[in-house]
Amino acid sequence: MWDYKFARDNPIYFSHLFVAYLKQEMVLSEEEASARTRGFPRLKTQEEEEQLAAQRLAVPSPLPRILKEFTKAAIRTQPYDLLRWSAAYFAALATGLEPPVKERLEFPPLEAPGGLTPGYLRVLHRQQGDAPFVQYEQLLRRWKGLCLGVEALDTIWGLVATEEQDEVPWLHIVSAGSGLISQSPLQTMVLVCETLTTEPEGASACVPMTTFEPLYLHVSQLDHPGLPGVGPAVGIDVTGPLLEHLRAVAAEQGGNVTPRNLAHFNCPKLY
């Protein structure tokens, strides 16, 4: 039976075969058959095929595992530009850096400025490591590796840096980035806790009060009414009672505060 799939996948072979058939049936002369096959590559003999197979490179044994991990990472991260993200992914692996990979798939996809989501913010935080400061060019390279919009980065950088600054505290980027994609200062500080916590996902997302307090004060002074997650600056009449309450709560929780503490009915307002 005629195998159409094989014919489709091997057009040159079947072209030669068809011309040979016509020649055998005396439909084509020797010269006509030669002319018909002149434009086709010559079919390799069995000996040539064996020599070619011997020259082929062996597949490295780690390659299947690498491709499997790459596939799972791409599915979890869902990058907008797969080619650009893949380049950043393998570059990170080659240099021993944290790859641009989300811990889990964010579903349904979140609509946020520049494509920034809580998952991407956590990726950037892991890539930053323990370094307290970050430079714009350094952050821009990671940002592009995640296929995020540069306008969102410029907005965040403009919130925390002056024109003369070429580096800023990394935690200020986290708080400003949280404010960019949140709908209220409360949601911003909850996202800050969820980004900075060392607890596994689904736990209390606690952070030390010594970390939370300066970041809350930083967000409270950003003064950007156009961003719901930041809002206008607030004074000590708002920040004072809140911090006093949270210090007392943290003293009973090993020095930590959690998003649940912020949403408690006894907690003074954040803004």
The pLDDT tens digits of the residues spanning 135-170 come to: 999 999 999 999 999 999 999 999 999 888 889 999
Residue 257 lies in a domain: yes
The pLDDT tens digits of the residues spanning 166-191 come to: 899 999 999 999 999 999 999 999 99
Residue 122 lies in a domain: no
pTM over 0.95: no
**Under 8 Å between Cβ of 146 and 79:** yes
Structure tokens belonging to residue 155: 């907005």
Q: Share the mean pLDDT of the chain.
A: 85
Structure tokens belonging to residue 114: 């520049």
Single out the residue in 40, 55, 70 at which a domain terminates: 55
Residue 100 lies in a domain: no
Distances in whole angstroms, Cα of residue 204 to Cα of each of 173, 184, 259: 23, 20, 7
Residue 51 lies in a domain: yes
| pLDDT of 64 strictly over 90 | no
For position 211, what pLDDT does the model report?
97
* Average pLDDT score over residue span 104-115: 82
For position 26, what pLDDT does the model report?
47
Residue 80 lies in a domain: no
How many domains in the chain? Answer: 2
Most confident of 7-11, 24-28, 166-170: 166-170
Residue 98 lies in a domain: no
For position 31, what pLDDT does the model report?
59
Single out the residue in 14, 30, 55 at which a domain terminates: 55
Q: Give the lowest-confidence range in 35-44, 70-79, 85-94, 257-266.
A: 35-44
Residue 29 lies in a domain: yes
User: DSSP readout, 109-168?
Assistant: PPP-GGG--HHHHHHHHHHHTT-SEEEHHHHHHHHHHTT--HHHHHHHHHHH--TT-SEE
Rg value, the chain, Cα = 30
Whole domain around residue 14: which residue ranges? 4-55
For position 9, what pLDDT does the model report?
55
Structure tokens belonging to residue 251: 């003293």
Reduce the DSSP state of residue 180 to 3 states and report it: helix
Residue 254 lies in a domain: yes
For position 15, what pLDDT does the model report?
52
Maximum pairwise Cα distance, the chain:
103
| pLDDT of 55 strictly over 70 | no
| pLDDT of 39 strictly over 50 | yes
Q: Give the lowest-confidence range in 26-35, 162-171, 234-243, 252-261.
A: 26-35
For position 53, what pLDDT does the model report?
67
Give the pLDDT band of residue 12 (cuts 50, 70, 90).
low
For position 27, what pLDDT does the model report?
47
| pLDDT of 243 strictly over 90 | yes
Give the pLDDT band of residue 221 (cuts 50, 70, 90).
very high
Give the pLDDT band of residue 62 (cuts 50, 70, 90).
confident
